[in-house]
């Protein structure tokens, strides 16, 4: 009988100890070790990207719910380490930014304790250069709109060749849309699937 009681006591202590060791800490000193910011297309490190740990307050909505808990600057190969205090009453996220070459990343949730080898993937921008050519330069266009995703509205009186720029995500096809008012008539044009390389400029010619 004593042997059985001793065995059950030992088993209970072992179980409690094991659960305690495997439990993820909900609060306390936390860190990210060997984090890596990479280009989502090439897989190469994004040098000198800014990295934030954002703390979200569950009692507040919108952008005001986030505050900075820690900040680090990635090295020349995109690697970073950072320490922060984790409070279990909040949710913690990681994001990176590198203007003007990369789009800011979405919030990536992280846990308390040590986060090893966390990878942040960033999408590079691409640019579109609209070369608007009036040929021959006779009519004046009073309003010109050009877009490759996000709305871009240009209110200009075009009576000569004009250059406009738009920004979009690179390494993908963009649907180019432009319209203009000429002789009191609106002309709309949509040109689909124009490939825009990352960190590069697509030259797009518009003749009217």
With CA atoms as reference, report the closest residue to 166 among 135, 203, 115, 113. Answer: 203
Range 42-54 average pLDDT: 95
Greater confidence (128 vs 164) lies with 128
Q: Which residue has the tokens 């495997």?
A: 22
CA distance 138 to 135: 8
Q: What is the pLDDT of residues 131-180, one digit of tens each?
A: 888 776 666 666 677 777 655 555 566 667 888 888 888 998 888 888 87
Quick one: pLDDT at residue 48?
Answer: 96
Range 19-33 average pLDDT: 70
Range 48-72 average pLDDT: 95
Residue 104 has pLDDT above 70, yes or no: yes
Range 99-121 average pLDDT: 91
Using CB atoms within 10 A of its CB, is residue 133 exposed (0-12), middle (13-18) or buried (19+)? middle
DSSP per position, 78-114? SEEEEEEEE-TTSEEEEEEEBTTTBPPPPPEEE-SSE
Total number of residues shown for the chain: 208
Range 36-41 average pLDDT: 94
Peptide bond into 136 cis (omega under 30): yes
Residue 117 has pLDDT above 50, yes or no: yes
Quick one: pLDDT at residue 189?
Answer: 85
DSSP per position, 147-178? ESSS--EE---BSS-EEEEEEEESSEEEEEEE
Residue 73 has pLDDT above 90, yes or no: yes
């Amino acid at each position: 009988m004593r042997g059985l009681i001793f065995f059950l006591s030992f088993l209970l202590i072992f179980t409690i100890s094991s659960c305690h060791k495997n439990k993820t800490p909900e609060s306390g000193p936390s860190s990210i070790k060997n984090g890596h910011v990479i280009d989502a297309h090439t897989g190469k490190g994004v040098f000198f990207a800014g990295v934030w740990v954002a703390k979200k307050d569950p009692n507040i909505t919108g952008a005001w719910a986030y505050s900075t808990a820690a900040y680090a600057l990635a090295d020349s190969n995109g690697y970073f380490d950072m320490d922060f205090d984790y409070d279990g009453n909040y949710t913690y996220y990681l994001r990176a930014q590198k203007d003007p070459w990369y789009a800011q990343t979405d919030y990536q949730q992280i846990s308390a304790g040590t986060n090893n080898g966390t990878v942040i993937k960033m999408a590079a921008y691409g640019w579109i250069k609209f070369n608007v050519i009036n040929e021959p330069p006779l009519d004046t266009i009073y309003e010109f709109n050009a877009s490759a995703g996000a709305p871009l509205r240009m209110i200009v009186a075009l009576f000569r060749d004009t250059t406009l720029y738009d920004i979009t995500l690179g390494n993908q096809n963009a649907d180019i849309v432009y319209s203009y008012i000429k002789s009191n008539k609106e002309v709309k044009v949509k040109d689909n699937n124009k490939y825009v390389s990352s960190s590069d400029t697509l030259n797009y010619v518009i003749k009217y």
